[in-house]
Amino acid sequence: KALMRDLKQATEAGEFQLVYQPKIDLATQRLAGLEALIRWRHPEKGLIGPAAFIAEAERSGMIVPIGAWVFAEACRQLKAWNNAGLRMPTVAVNLSPVQLKQADLVEQFRDTLKRYDIKPAQLELEVTESTFIDDIGASSVTLQQLRDLGVCVAIDDFGTGYSSLTYLQRLPVDRLKLDRSFVTALEASAQTERIVEAIITLSHGLGLRVIAEGVETEQQLTMLRAKGCDEVQGFWFSKPLMADELIAWLKART
Please give the residue ranges that form the binding site for Mn ion (CB under 5 A): 156-157
d(CA 236, CA 98): 32
d(CA 171, CA 30): 29
Out of 90, 96, 112, 220, the only residue in the binding site for ligand G (CB under 6 A) is 96
234 binds, among Na ion, Mn ion, ligand G, none (CB under 5 to 8 A by kind): ligand G
- Binding mask 180-219 toward ligand G (x if CB under 6 A, else -) reads ---------------------------------xxxx---
Determine if 179 is a binding residue for Na ion (CB under 5 A).
no
- Distances in Å between the Cα of 97 and the Cα atoms of 58, 64, 76 are 9, 10, 23
Q: Which residues contact 117 (CB under 8 A, 6 or more apart)?
A: 79
Determine if 73 is a binding residue for ligand G (CB under 6 A).
no
Out of 124, 126, 179, 231, the only residue in the binding site for Na ion (CB under 5 A) is 126
Out of 10, 31, 70, 196, the only residue in the binding site for ligand G (CB under 6 A) is 70
d(CA 169, CA 86): 37
- Min separation Cβ 85 and ligand G, Å: 27
List the interface residues with Na ion, window 128-167 (CB under 5 A): 156
List the interface residues with ligand G, window 127-166 (CB under 6 A): 156-157
For helices 2-13 and 63-83, the axis angle rounded to 10 degrees is: 30
Determine if 94 is a binding residue for Na ion (CB under 5 A).
yes
Decide: 39 and 16 in contact? Cβ < 8 Å.
yes
Query: Environment class of residue 119 by beta-carbon count within 10 Å: exposed (0-12), middle (13-18) or buried (19+)?
Result: exposed
Binding site for Na ion (CB under 5 A): 94, 126, 156
